[in-house]
A and B are shown apart, each in its own frame.
Chain A
Amino acid sequence: MDTGAVLLELGAIILGLGVAGRFAARLGISPIPLYLLAGLAFGEGGVLPLDTSEEFIEVGAEIGVVLLLLTLGLAYTPAELSSTMRSNYRSGLVDLVLNATPGAAAGLLLGLSPAGVLTMAGVTYISSSGIVAKLLEDLGRIPNRETPPVLAILVFEDLVMAVYLPVLAAVLAGLSVLGTSASVLVSLAVVGLVLLAAFRFGDRISALVFSTDSEQMILRVLGITLLVAGAAQQLQVSAAVGAFLIGIAISGEAGESARGLVSPLRDLFAAVFFVTFGLRTDPGAVLPELLPALALAVVTAATKVYTGWWAAGQVGIGPRGRLRAGAALVARGEFSIVIAGLAVVAGIDGVGPLTTAYVLVMAVIGPLFARYAEVLGAPVLRRVAP
């Protein structure tokens, strides 16, 4: 291996992503679509195919998924998860039904395999909690009264992920119907046990990794996370779920400082992951998917807006706030790609290009929807509150 060439290529890619990120920030959009485009350009059939650093990039992408899910788990304490589950399950169910259905329907219409249909249901269901959280902060909406129902939906989606990912992993393994059901049951039992352990013994796990020395702390957190993620992968539960569960178990002071330490690493490896997803997608296959993706985008933007509208209405928010809540949830991003990534690695056809096109659209229009919710929704507002 020519180390110099690898370093040169990596440096160029990462610097390029940095420039793209800056450009995205100027435009006020998420950098994810630009990372995907970069991946498309570097891949086979793209304008700048990579040749030396692919091996590193592949491993980096795996770590990216693990860190994305770890920080997702770190964001919430077990207490927050269980109290949200109890008090907001109705909004969560409305969200699940309204937003998973269009993806599944699109999969059926496009003639995908059952595994492909299940994948697309997940792709359209899950909002990008990364993009949404950043939007709420940037737009100064954290104190707004419609924000708690929005957060509750994000929390619920994360819990659904803990169940959905192992099921998807089992289905993607492509066993017989009996084998798949057995594998689903086993992985759900494992997830249930680990969740229970996280709720019960979270304090001890937190104490185990906690250190006031940041070097010690990051080594412990990363070590445990990669071990559990790897073990989960071996058990066919998917590395992502393992990392997510560790994130939930680590909470309190340990969780807070782990989040701070892991975030920059996550940003780097998640960017590598998005590029890799683009790399694995043939740019030529994305273009024909643009139209179906646009149609899916229109439908699932509407269903998310309605979800937020409904959820905010449940807690007595006025029409403007309900509109803002709905629009804030529109963005899909990192987790749609994580889900599709699992399917692509398992060799499911048709999912990669469609998801790429879909996320390209949703990650761009999501923030625009959130920002201009009240302008875009003016006709609705006039009718509801003249």
Chain B
Amino acid sequence: MEVHEMALPGIGVRYDITTERGRHMAIVAFRGGGHELALYDERDPDRSRDVIPLTEEESDAIAEVLGATRMVERVADLHKQIEGLTTEQLSLPATSDYVGRPLGDARIRTVTGTSIVAVVRGEQVHAAPRPDFVLQAADVVVMVGTPDGCRAAGELLGVHEI
């Protein structure tokens, strides 16, 4: 899927999306904040038939709903595809050795075979964090691996019961 970017001088940026079923939609991001969601007319593809203005708060809410559900869906798909695989999430305790240190220092995959697929901090989801991602207390670490592997990874991070 492609997202086309079109500059609107003096206004902002328009992002065009054509879905697999051939529906055209666009999101206009205004320079001064706020967005517009537009659906194009099927008979006159140049014209936006419906325009939904969104405040910044509304845009954030929509982005979060789509972002969070996508994360869960992707992980659920993995489960179905590979037997014996499990997902765990744990909250990093303040007592963990790795608070304030890069994720790579824990060498979780090397030691336990478990992959960290995301770190959720507050309302933000950091998908596929890199080894230099610095952990903080109360980060929610989402991992995929075998049940034993996940337990071992939890021990490394300072969580003793999963």
The residue on A at minimum CB distance from B50 is: A140
Partner of B47, one of A83, A155, A260, A321: A321
Known: A143-B28, A155-B10. A321 touches B44 (CB 8 A): yes
Contact A147 B10 (CB under 8 A): no
Contact A143 B7 (CB under 8 A): no
Instruction: Check if B108 is an interface residue, CB within 8 A of chain A.
Output: no
Please report which residues of chain A, range 137-154, place their CB below 8 angstroms from some CB of chain B when the two chains form the complex.
Answer: 140-148, 151-152, 154
Instruction: Check if A369 is an interface residue, CB within 8 A of chain B.
Output: no
Contact B47 A76 (CB under 8 A): no
How many contacts A-B (CB < 8 Å)?
A: 66
Instruction: Check if B51 is an interface residue, CB within 8 A of chain A.
Output: yes
In the complex, how many angstroms separate the beta carbon of B52 from the nearest chain A beta carbon?
A: 10
Chain A binding site: helix, strand, loop or mixed by DSSP?
A: helix
Known: A256-B31, A260-B32. A141 touches B10 (CB 8 A): no
Please report which residues of chain A, range 298-328, place their CB below 8 angstroms from some CB of chain B when the two chains form the complex.
Answer: 317-318, 320-321, 324
CA A269 to CA B48, docked complex, whole Å: 35
Known: A143-B14, A143-B28, A256-B32. A80 touches B45 (CB 8 A): no
Instruction: Check if A6 is an interface residue, CB within 8 A of chain B.
Output: no
CA A76 to CA B7, docked complex, whole Å: 11
Instruction: Check if A84 is an interface residue, CB within 8 A of chain B.
Output: yes
Known: A80-B7, A260-B32. A140 touches B46 (CB 8 A): no
Instruction: Check if B36 is an interface residue, CB within 8 A of chain A.
Output: yes
In the complex, how many angstroms separate the beta carbon of A325 from the nearest chain B beta carbon?
A: 9
Candidate in A83, A145, A155 with the most chain B CB atoms within 10 angstroms? A145
Partner of A151, one of B11, B26, B46: B11
Contact A76 B46 (CB under 8 A): no
B 17-38 to A, binary, CB cutoff 8 A, 1 in contact else 0: 0000000001010011000101
The residue on B at minimum CB distance from A133 is: B10
Number of chain B residues whose Cβ lies closer than 8 Å to a Cβ of chain A: 19
Contact B10 A144 (CB under 8 A): no
The size bracket of the interface on A is 20 to 34
CA A375 to CA B109, docked complex, whole Å: 66
Which of chain A's residues have a CB closer than 8 A to the CB of B32?
256, 259-260
Contact B46 A317 (CB under 8 A): yes
Residues of A within 8 A of B (CB): 75-76, 80-81, 83-84, 133, 140-148, 151-152, 154-155, 256, 259-260, 317-318, 320-321, 324
Q: A141-B47, A143-B51, A151-B9 are in contact. List 7 more A-B contacts (CB 8 A).
A: A145-B46, A145-B47, A148-B8, A151-B10, A151-B11, A260-B32, A317-B46
A-B residue pairs, 8 tightest by C-beta: A321-B46, A143-B38, A75-B10, A145-B46, A80-B9, A140-B51, A143-B48, A143-B26
23 pairs of residues in contact across A and B, judged by CB atoms under 8 Å: A75-B9, A76-B9, A80-B10, A81-B9, A84-B9, A133-B10, A140-B48, A140-B51, A142-B28, A142-B51, A143-B26, A143-B36, A143-B38, A144-B46, A144-B47, A144-B48, A151-B10, A152-B9, A155-B10, A318-B45, A321-B44, A321-B46, A324-B46
